[in-house]
Amino acid sequence: MRVLMLGNSLTTAHDLPRLLLARLSERCGAKVEVVVHARGGARLSEHLNPKTKNGARTLRALGRLCGERQAGLDFVVLQEMSHAPATTPEAYLRAASGLCELARSAGARPVIYGTWAYERDSAALARLVERHPEACGRACIHCPHSDVRREGPGVTDGFAPCMGMHGLMHRAFAAAAREGGAVLADVGSAFVEYHGVGSPYSSDGVHPSEVGALLAADVIARAIAGAWRNPPASGGLSQGASEPLNVKRGRRTR
């Protein structure tokens, strides 16, 4: 199995590609290779631009430059800049759609890596909402920028995602998967449902901690393994995270 990951630091943090390789090897019982095209802060649209380093690499891998493509790609994982699915959903959907089409034309299944909302009460969320007031949706039950607050799922051990932002991002990811005939690896919902030891967030409230990277690798691996075992006859949406996971010492427990 050959997997190409397109993204930024939410893809590379804590050596997530290596964690994904290990999880896929366990789940699929096959030899797995994971290739990464990533740059800190990159948007998916960069991978459609042949004038950028990542764009040239990605388009070549998918056979759009020089008529050559990386042999035997099975899955292409698409990860957008951290807040773009909530703040610029139309641009995100255009880029995701274009890359899904290229992946399918190269004989690979596209996978939407559905990342998480910023952590509630984080400085990063406060800065984001100053620039993009719409980012938390104003209907957020956990966000300090909302007029409505209550306890609920996602509030554990002192961390919680911004649920308004989560809702906006989840809708964008679901639309991208539906329109692109892609598998959805719903890591963001796994962050909401997580009730294990420690926080999946790093101290900045944006990037994953080691726990979060393990959680992301497990959700993506589950989504890919399901598609690997049960390829759909005509594309369609597959969910990658429908049950809470606890991650501890690199192992997955329920």
pLDDT at 104: 95
Sketch the domain layout of the chain as residue ranges: 2-253
pLDDT band of 152, cuts 50, 70, 90: very low
185 vs 197: which has the higher pLDDT? 185
Q: What pTM was estimated for this model as a whole?
A: 0.85
Per-residue pLDDT at 244 exceeds 60: no
Least reliable range by pLDDT among 43-47, 146-150, 166-170:
146-150
Percent of residues, the chain, with pLDDT higher than 70: 79
| DSSP tag of 162 | -
**Is 35 buried (19+), middle (13-18) or exposed (0-12) by CB count in 10 A?**
middle
- What CATH number labels 2-253? 3.40.50.1110
- Confidence band of 158 (pLDDT split at 50, 70, 90): low
Q: What is the pLDDT of residue 249?
A: 38
pLDDT tens digits, residue range 116-137? 999 988 899 889 988 988 887 6
| pLDDT tens profile 205-239 | 999 999 999 999 999 999 999 999 987 654 444 45
Question: 39-74, pLDDT tens digit by residue?
Answer: 999 999 999 999 999 999 999 999 865 555 555 799
Mean pLDDT of the chain: 85
Q: What is the pLDDT of residue 66?
A: 53
CA distance 207 to 203: 8
Structure confidence at residue 154 (pLDDT): 47
Distances (CA, A) of 27 to 1, 126, 187, 230: 12, 39, 18, 13
The tens digit of pLDDT for each residue in 80-120 reads 999 999 999 999 999 999 999 999 999 999 999 999 999 98
Return d(Cα 234, Cα 247) in angstroms, integer. 34
Please tell me the predicted confidence (pLDDT) of residue 252.
38
C-alpha distances in Å from residue 127, one per residue of 122, 124, 142, 203: 9, 5, 17, 15
